[in-house]
Structures are given as C-alpha cells and as structure tokens.
Amino acid sequence: MLEIFFELHEDLAQQGPGSDEYTRKAFSLTQPLSPKSRILDLGCGPGRQTIELAKLSKGEIHAVDNHKPYIEELRIRTMKARVTEKIKTHVGSMDDLNFAEESFDLIWSEGAIYSIGFEKGLKLWRRFLKPGCYIAVTEVSWLKSDLPEELRNYWNVAYPDIGSIGDNIRRVEQAEFELAATLTLPASTWWDGYYTQILERMEVLNKKYADDETARKVFDEEKREIEMFRRYSDYYSYVFYIAKRPL
C-alpha cells in the first residue's frame, strides 16, 4: 500500500500544499535573521521550501526527513539550484533530533508537523531554537465554524486533532511561544504544484494498476481527499503560524 502511495507521489515538485510565494511571505515575517543563520527545515520532503529558504538566506540550512528517497530528490535539486553547500540533509525522524539545544536561528516546517502532532512538535522543537528567534510552521486549520457534517466526519477520521486558527494559537502559546503572525494559504497553493500533479499522475497509474485492488484503494483515498477540498476549500486550509521563542 505504502509502495503505491510513494509511486503516486515520487518526483512531485512538492509533497503538500504550499508555494514559493507563500514561503517568501512567511520568511519576511521572521526577520531580522543573522547573516550566519542556521535554519532547521523539518519534514522537508523533496525540498521545495528548502531551496527557496536557501535562496532567501545567507547561512546554512539543515533539512530533515525520514523518507530517504525524498532526501535523495532534494540533493539532486540542490545541485540544479546551485545551493548544495548551503544545505545539509539528514535522514531521520523529527521527533528524535540530535542537534544541540539553542543552535538554530529559525525553525521551519511546511505540511509536516501533523505527523507528530502540532502542540507536541512545537514543544519538542522549542529547545533547538535560540531565545528571541522564530519558528514558522504550517498546520491544517478550520477557517469557519459552521462545518458541513460530511466534512467534519471526513476530518474526524483523517486528522481528529484539526483545530480552528484560535485553537492553534492557544497551542502555540501552550508550547511557550509568542505568536507573531498567521498566514492562511490560498486554495491555489493546494491545486498548483500539488493536487493537480497528483491527479495527472493518477491518470497514468490508473492504467498500469487497472486490476490492482490495493492500488484502487490508495487512489480512491486520494480522490476522496481531493474531492473534499474541491467542495469545501472555503472551510479549511493550511495556515502558517509564525511565533517567537521569548528571550
């Protein structure tokens, strides 16, 4: 099952909603950043945002993901973008990090913290950030409160911890950060570069796996996720939470 999932996702430019434009907008809210900054990008995937961060900053970036093929894709991309020296890659888990405490000037994570839990991740990562520095993390969040039942039922299974922006701001504060800003990703950042690519890839793989029941299940799940977004994108999106570790 996992193999089919990865075949569907391999070589995509990005592995979740997001865009370079929004990475840049969020980055502008984390200034000033020292010229010798050390940035930690957690759940980097194939590194769309890692490369953008390398273009935006002068120091070094440590990119961590537990799926080795994504790290390999990222390494190839760093060469193409000529930023290899700035990016150190690590295959490892974001809940078992071996970096020195207070050694980063910025912690970044797009579309990945949900896999260990938003509040848990914030609490775990805080120690690696220097006091007075920022964390910028995206988390899927409710944008409205009058949720259609079908949508609520879907997310109750997919990610029961999903909360409103207010809930997530409270979680940020529970983890002892001071919120600086939130930034909601528009629906275009889910379609361009992500869902549209998956739908195109599925079209090809549909033929290859026409009689494969496991593949059908994986594809049906993806199609359901995408259909939910097509119908209800006004109700939820990824939101950047940009917050400072107090001095």
Residues that bind ligand SAM (CB under 6 A): 14-16, 18, 43-45, 48-49, 64-67, 70, 93-95, 110-112, 115-116
Angle CA(54)–CA(74)–CA(87) in degrees, nearest 5?
35
Are 223 and 205 a contacting pair, CB within 8 Å?
no
Q: Which is nearer to ligand SAM, 40 or 129 (CB)?
A: 40
Q: Are 47 and 77 in contact (CB under 8 A)?
A: yes
Cβ 194 to ligand SAM shortest distance, Å = 8
Is residue 241 a contact partner of residue 26, using CB atoms and an 8 Å limit?
A: no
Cβ at position 64, least distance to ligand SAM in Å? 6
The strand pair at 178-184 and 163-164 is best described as unpaired
Residue (121 or 182) nearer to ligand SAM, CB:
121
Residue 181 CB, nearest approach to ligand SAM (Å): 19
Least distance CB 126 / ligand SAM (angstroms): 17
Of 66 and 84, the one with the shorter C-beta distance to ligand SAM is 66
- Nearest residue (CB) to ligand SAM, 170 versus 233: 233
Q: Minimum distance between the CB of residue 70 and ligand SAM, rounded to whole angstroms?
A: 5
Rounded Cα distance, 42 and 110, in Å: 8
Query: What is the spatial distance between Cα 136 and Cα 245, in angstroms, rounded to a whole number?
Result: 11
* Smallest separation (angstroms) from ligand SAM to the CB of 113: 9
Q: Which of 111, 101, 184 is nearest to 142 (CA)?
A: 184
99's CB contacts (< 8 A; 6+ apart) are 40, 62, 128
Which residue in the shown chain puts its C-beta closest to ligand SAM?
45
75 vs 170, which CB is nearer to ligand SAM? 75
Omega cis (within 30) before 160: no
Alpha-carbon distances of 110 from 46, 124, 148, 241, rounded to whole Å: 12, 16, 27, 10
Q: In terms of CB distance, is 161 or 170 closer to ligand SAM?
A: 161
